[in-house]
Amino acid sequence: MIEFFQETKLFIHFIFELLAAVAGTLYWKKSPYIAPELKLFIFYLFYIVLVEFYAFIPIYAWVNDYEVLGFYKDSVFRRNVWIGNFNQIIYALCFSQLFIRNLSNARIRRNLNLILIILIIGSIIRFITSGEFFYSADLYVRTLLTFFVLVCIGYFYFELLKSDRVLHFHRGIKFFISVGLILWSLCVLPLDIYDDFFSLENPYFMKVDTVVMRYANVFLYSMYIVGFYVDYRNKCIRERL
């Protein structure tokens, strides 16, 4: 098992996810005030840590040829695909609200929230009716929800450009989160399109997918960590003035 984790280096992005969650906790503890959507984001980071920790369990069972935790062998939970599908809804809820709540235009906020509700209901219906929830990543749901979050970021940038905040856009944590999400999505979404090729019959694709995901996640969670630090540092500077 140790050799497997050393070879695949799955522990690397887990470490960065944990560091981001710890950084978020320190940011929350040290800051006099945190917006509700940022609290939700920090909860999301801990949720991801717990999910990743659980994801190691069926992998452990598979590596040991189901000699331990044998009930996973014939279970729908033997693969972690279902976690990825479910996470798409949590991802869309958390990150869309992170940017929607910062929009000053009430009509756009209302419309985006309405679209979000429709997308989530549609995603749940598709998960229930497709019969593939436990067996393969739903590309349609993942693409639509990812695109929706990117649209929310686009509206956030548009309002930023029209306001005085654009002069200090690089000092807030939402800027770092948005940059991380955009670049991460551009790297990961193309791999999701070919997710069906991720199998033992395609070892080269598995290797490319694993390496890209590893460094994409390291970059993403590093941006979160830097964002927490920069935002907190600038809050301290403003308090001294």
Q: Which residues of the chain have pLDDT under 70?
A: 1-9, 166-167, 195-202, 205, 237-241
What pLDDT, on a 0 to 100 scale, did the predictor assign at position 167?
Answer: 67
What pLDDT, on a 0 to 100 scale, did the predictor assign at position 237?
Answer: 65
What pLDDT, on a 0 to 100 scale, did the predictor assign at position 73?
Answer: 82
What pLDDT, on a 0 to 100 scale, did the predictor assign at position 166?
Answer: 67
Q: Answer whether 0.85 is exceeded by the pTM.
A: yes
What does the chain look like in DSSP terms, one character per residue?
-HHHHHHH-HHHHHHHHHHHHHHHHHHHHH-S---HHHHHHHHHHHHHHHHHHHHHHHHHHHHTTTSSSGGGTTSGGGSSHHHHHHHHHHHHHHHHHHHHTT-S-HHHHHHHHHHHHHHHHHHHHHHHHHS-TTTS--HHHHHHHHHHHHHHHHHHHHHHHTSGGGGGGGGSHHHHHHHHHHHHHHHHHHHHHTGGG-STT-HHHHHHHHHHHHHHHHHHHHHHHHHHHHHHHHHHHHHH-
